[in-house]
Structure 1
Amino acid sequence: MPQQIHVEAYERLTARGHENIRALHRTTFELTKDSDVAIQGDCILGVKLDRAVADLSQEFRSAIKRDTAIVIIVLEVENLSDVVLARGSSRLTLEDHRRVVVRRSRFVGGETLAIESNKAARDIDRRLIEKLRSRDAEILVHIYVLDLGDVSTPTGLEGINLVKKL
């Protein structure tokens, strides 16, 4: 019988597009509460973010601060979406009140939401990025935290069902 992995925590963030969004950074992507972005901000996917890492619920913060946490981030703009996989960490501080940053590396700063991501800004679906080059665009960011600490299958993740715990 397949094991079930429960979603330990969930957050939904929203941000807006901007004409200067380029999303070419090789190691990170970022969302910011700032209203504007300079052309040099090539990691930024969205501005006017509704909440930064410091604003996330205590339940979410506790779940993502586990070394066994797997983070699934679904980015949605209009009818397009892209999925990013990353890891949580006990080293996360989640103290930045302005930004959310996802990193390919293991580096952790106060703005870091997740590490060891499979995608940076340049890897995000370019059709989605094109839509984000308009101030009218809205990006929805769905963040799911799973805890694989109790999973003990010799074959990895095959046969595991994901179930959202409400």
Structure 2
Amino acid sequence: MTEYTFTAKGHHNVTSKHRTTFEVTQDLDIGLAADCIIGVASKASLNDMPPQMKDAIRNEAAQIQIILETKNATDKIIGYGHPALTLDHPTDIVCRKSDYTCSRTLMIHADKAAMDLNPDLIKDLKSGKTLKVTIII
């Protein structure tokens, strides 16, 4: 089991309405149209993940858990890795319900998207609270 933890921040424009993805980004600001972004000012991107973790994620059988935590709430998302994942985007980390892969994709076939996340977690993020993200392979 490999684990990687980092923090991001909530933002007043977090809407969490996207049906198929959620995203954490190093960008500092987002607009209302960015309905998949749940965290900004991330301290990590896919580029920052350790090489051994990337290797594990590229295994099609790899189950990936993401634990999202704020002051008042927690949520857990489960998805899967794939050999086509490059895991090299410099600013974004995207989790997808679909099987679409690109440089921004951390996992596919996720069991939750932005709209499925704990409402108390989203409330904290809308108020700008810190988001702790733990990725477990």
Spell out, residue by residue over 1:1-50, the C-alpha distance to the aligned partner (whole angstroms, 9 max, x if none): xxxxxx1x111021001100001000000000000010000000100001
The TM-score normalised by the length of structure 2 is 0.98
State the alpha-carbon separation in 2 of the partners of residues 70 and 51 from structure 1.
21
- Residue 92 of structure 2 is matched in structure 1 by 99
- Residue 143 of structure 1 is matched in structure 2 by 135
2:124 equivalent to 1:131: yes
| Identity %, equivalent residues | 35
The TM-score normalised by the length of structure 1 is 0.81
**What's the CA shift for 1:98?**
0.4
Q: What value does the CA root-mean-square deviation take over the aligned residues?
A: 0.7
Which AA in structure 2 matches 1:142?
T
Q: Deviating runs (4+, > 6 A) in structure 1?
A: none
**What's the CA shift for 1:80?**
1.2
SS at match of 2:3: strand
Higher-Rg member (1/2): 1
Spell out, residue by residue over 1:63-95, the C-alpha distance to the aligned partner (whole angstroms, 9 max, x if none): 111011000111000131001010011110011
Structure having the larger proportion of residues in strand: 1
SS at match of 1:140: strand
What stretches of structure 1 of length at least 5 have no aligned partner? 1-6, 146-166
State the alpha-carbon separation in 2 of the partners of residues 13 and 105 from structure 1.
25
Aligned pairs for 1:15-164 within 5 A: 15-135=8-128, 137-145=129-137
